[in-house]
Amino acid sequence: MTEKKIPTHLAIILDGNGRWAKKRNLPRLMGHRAGLRKLEDMVRLVKREGIRYFSVYAFSTENWNRPQMEVTGLMSLFRYYIRRKVDEIKSEGARIRFCGRKDRLPEDLLAQMKWAEDYTKDEKILDFILCINYGGRAEIIDAVNKLIAENPQTPVTEQDLRKHFYLPDVPDPDLIIRTSGELRLSNFWLWESAYSEYYFTDIHWPDFDEAELKRALENYAGRERRYGGLKS
């Protein structure tokens, strides 16, 4: 029997928290709370599947355009989630990493993010990457500016650019799942998704479960990745 193909890096665009809440006549923040809670199970399930890198898109550079109350509420939820869940995540052998721009985030949240990264840095089973204040375009622009500052003359290669991304050691996502029916990337892993496989489901993120994850992984296992070459 051939071994089942599993993604090394699974990425999820956590979408639909607002619609999940609306369906239940709840405030949007209750949807975000349910969404973060769902992440706890997912870390465990993803680890069990043997995935090495798990990244989630939790707040984009464009999400600052939401009403102030929702943004502030989300920042509080991130604070709460990190404080309360870091030990559980660490006990799974998972290292927490954050990916995105550091500007605009509240100072105390930044300090907590740094603490959580340091506290879990020796865990080696799973890298759990929370993309907060992440935008693919911002990442490329930040990398270009770092390159120019270092060396304004030399022509740059793809490798040079990649070395300046937020998490240069993390391999490109093999599979990107987006929940809640929208068929777009919304500025997630722009450069890194050049050869990613996609899986879309109508399920709102807080309703995503083990069966859904298995369906997505089964589907991925049946894909043939060619990278522009010929069928093997």
Q: Active-site residues: which are they?
A: 15, 63
With binding defined as CB under 6 A, does residue 55 bind ligand IPE? no
With binding defined as CB under 6 A, does residue 19 bind ligand IPE? yes
One-letter amino acid for residue 39 of the chain: L
Instruction: Kindly report the backbone phi and psi dihedral angles of residue 144, in degrees, each rounded to the nearest multiple of 5, phi listed first.
Output: -60, -45
Number of Cβ within a 10 Å radius of residue 199 = 20
Cα of 97 vs its chain's centroid, Å = 10
Q: Give min distance, CB of 23 to ligand IPE, in A.
A: 9
With binding defined as CB under 6 A, does residue 182 bind ligand IPE? yes
- The tokens describing 231, both together, are 């069928």
Chain positions 14 to 53 lying near Mg ion, rule: CB under 5 A, are: 15
Q: Which does 60 bind (CB under 5 to 8 A by kind): Mg ion, ligand IPE, none?
A: ligand IPE
With binding defined as CB under 6 A, does residue 16 bind ligand IPE? yes
- The tokens describing 168, both together, are 């240069």
With binding defined as CB under 5 A, does residue 192 bind Mg ion? no
| DSSP state for residue 195 in the 8-state scheme | T
128: β partners:
54, 96
List the one residue from 54, 57, 78, 220 that touches ligand IPE (CB under 6 A): 57
Spatial strand order of the sheet with 9-13 comes to: 94-99, 126-134, 53-60, 9-13, 175-178, 197-200
Q: Give min distance, CB of 200 to ligand IPE, in A.
A: 13
Of 21 and 51, which has the nearer Cβ to ligand IPE? 21
Residue nearest ligand IPE, Cβ-based: 18
Residue 55 · residue 129 · CB < 8 Å:
yes
List the one residue from 55, 61, 63, 201 that touches ligand IPE (CB under 6 A): 63
One-letter amino acid for residue 109 of the chain: L
Q: Which does 179 bind (CB under 5 to 8 A by kind): Mg ion, ligand IPE, none?
A: none
Residue nearest Mg ion, Cβ-based: 15
- The tokens describing 105, both together, are 């985030």
Residue 188 · residue 25 · CB < 8 Å:
no
List the one residue from 9, 10, 11, 18 that touches ligand IPE (CB under 6 A): 18
CA within 13 Å, CB half, 46: 29
With binding defined as CB under 5 A, does residue 174 bind Mg ion? no
- Choose one: 1-9, 92-100, 145-153, 181-189; the region binding ligand IPE (CB under 6 A): 181-189
CA-based nearest residue to 128, from 88, 161, 162, 79: 88
With binding defined as CB under 6 A, does residue 81 bind ligand IPE? no
Chain positions 133 to 172 lying near ligand IPE, rule: CB under 6 A, are: none
Residues that bind Mg ion (CB under 5 A): 15
